[in-house]
A and B are shown apart, each in its own frame.
Chain A
């Protein structure tokens, strides 16, 4: 069974005149690394807010259609219950951190759930180690750099041991090297622990090669849904205005020039370089 499934999901914010998402029917399987992208205002963030019940429980408004997450009907289960299964990380970590030390911030969610002390510290330590910030545990979050803060936000969510991790443009404030390191941490969590990852991103150059499922939205609807290589290699994706990775784009341009570089459409510079190297050797 899919870990997230929606059927004809349509949602209108209170006092809005038209729905922000319309007729969304998607299936996300356990263990997938899903990338959701599309032009600004296409409804990506709105859709993510449905995954842990912020919509409709916090935002109110009108939700039509069906949505189940980890087997729970979102309409019938409150956010605090869904939050045990679905962790959300936002664009700006500052909005998420508030405690006086990193350790306390990471422990906060567990304390709220009434997890026994011993178990709590075990999990906090585990999350701090996984995200590589154990040495920062006694520092104040607001004194840390943006990259370190985003790691604290991810650790806080991980400590809850969610089955699904939803990240909404988690690195847009960070420099490229720090962003890369964060994506690698997320990828490891997905691969080693089997956590399902849903990532909302514009910058596909940095992220496309981690995913095995891409959903492209436009004007509140899902317009493309499936294999990343097929989708990013398609003309449709480009015409919608998705930022196709330059490696993929170069492959397409060369294909039009009748240069055929194998059937596997590249998603990263490494894959493209390997294809070129092979073609030159042959």
Chain B
């Protein structure tokens, strides 16, 4: 569990990025943190694995304050996949990259071998085992970064902008993958702008603006309230937009899923209102 108690954070250059944030993320939750560029999303999640320590207030991970443990200890529990995979990758082969953290954590050689194979297989990277990460495409490098974090099996996983530069099929794979992790009771936190992706995943949504939380709730409620979204520079997903435009025709307003939209429209047909 992550508990954030009224934290403030000011960067050394004087920019106040977080201005009084409180929230709780329970074990096994799936949370999307959304908001405009510069709202403080990445700054906030960097507090969850102790990369940043609050200027004021506290962050507790499983009841332990992040200032009381080293980042290395926390990392065992909280895996962080950065927005730009290149800030994370450095090894000569994909295999070494994925094994690196495991070696650091002191896993035994045979365990490392097993876990590396497992993670590479899971993300469809087995054929690149001996390839340099820098020879791969942007989307593939992102998957290597993810594999290297998953390999040590952290119970909390933070993904910063996981869908940037990914095509539709890759996004769909990512979504399936997140749902799988969720079924294993992992806590998953994504930072994203991608409203269509969030609409398809339907997680808890935390909306940020200028270092503060402006909304916190279910995706289907938040993504269908344009007044709140507007404050955070987000536009509603396309299905929500359609139903918002038809709100005078006594349709439900909070629809984000395409198959739910279909059900509603089929019902309208059965009632004879639509041919």
Question: Do these two chains interact?
Answer: yes
- Given known pairs A40-B139, A147-B37, A273-B242, the reply for A246 and B258 (CB within 8 Å) is yes
Contacts of A272 in B (CB 8 A): 242
CA distance A176 to B207 in the complex (A): 13
Contacts of A180 in B (CB 8 A): 235
B:167-223 near A, CB below 8 Å? 167-171, 193, 195-196
Pair A279/B275 contact, Cβ less than 8 Å: yes
CA distance A246 to B167 in the complex (A): 15
Query: Interface range on chain B: under 10, 10 to 19, 20 to 34, or 35 or more?
Result: 35 or more
CA distance A226 to B246 in the complex (A): 31
Chain A, residue nearest B273 (CB): A280
A:152-195 near B, CB below 8 Å? 169, 172-180
Pair B265/A259 contact, Cβ less than 8 Å: yes
Contacts of A270 in B (CB 8 A): 241, 245
Contacts of B165 in A (CB 8 A): 40, 91, 169, 172, 202
Pair B230/A41 contact, Cβ less than 8 Å: no
- Given known pairs A169-B165, A241-B167, A276-B265, the reply for A177 and B235 (CB within 8 Å) is yes
Q: Does A250 sit at the interface, judged by CB under 8 A?
A: yes
Tell me how many residues of A have a C-beta within 8 Å of chain B: 43
Contacts of A173 in B (CB 8 A): 37, 164
Tell me the smallest distance from the CB of A174 to a CB of chain B, in Å. 6
Q: Which of B37, B166, B275 contacts A146 (CB 8 A)?
A: B37
Tell me the smallest distance from the CB of A59 to a CB of chain B, in Å. 16
Q: Does A269 sit at the interface, judged by CB under 8 A?
A: yes
Pair A254/B265 contact, Cβ less than 8 Å: yes
Pair B233/A39 contact, Cβ less than 8 Å: no
Q: Which of A39, A241, A245, A257 contacts B238 (CB 8 A)?
A: A245
CA distance A201 to B252 in the complex (A): 32
Pair B245/A175 contact, Cβ less than 8 Å: no
Q: Which of B36, B166, B268 contacts A40 (CB 8 A)?
A: B166
Tell me the smallest distance from the CB of B75 to a CB of chain A, in Å. 26
Q: Does A282 sit at the interface, judged by CB under 8 A?
A: yes
- Given known pairs A176-B193, A269-B238, A270-B245, the reply for A243 and B265 (CB within 8 Å) is no
Please give 12 more A-B residue pairs, beta carbons under 8 A apart, in addition to A40-B139, A259-B269.
A40-B137, A147-B37, A172-B165, A174-B193, A175-B37, A176-B233, A250-B258, A250-B262, A253-B262, A270-B245, A272-B242, A280-B274
Can you sample 29 A-B contacts with CB below 8 Å?
A39-B169, A40-B167, A40-B170, A146-B37, A176-B193, A176-B195, A178-B36, A178-B37, A178-B233, A179-B193, A180-B235, A202-B167, A205-B237, A241-B167, A243-B168, A245-B238, A246-B196, A250-B261, A253-B259, A257-B262, A259-B275, A269-B241, A269-B245, A270-B245, A273-B241, A273-B245, A276-B265, A279-B275, A282-B275
Binding site for B on A (CB under 8 A): 38-41, 91, 145-147, 169, 172-180, 202-203, 205, 241-243, 245-247, 249-250, 253-254, 257, 259, 268-270, 272-273, 276-277, 279-280, 282
Binding site for A on B (CB under 8 A): 35-38, 137-139, 164-171, 193, 195-196, 230, 232-235, 237-239, 241-242, 245-246, 249, 258-259, 261-262, 265-266, 268-269, 273-275
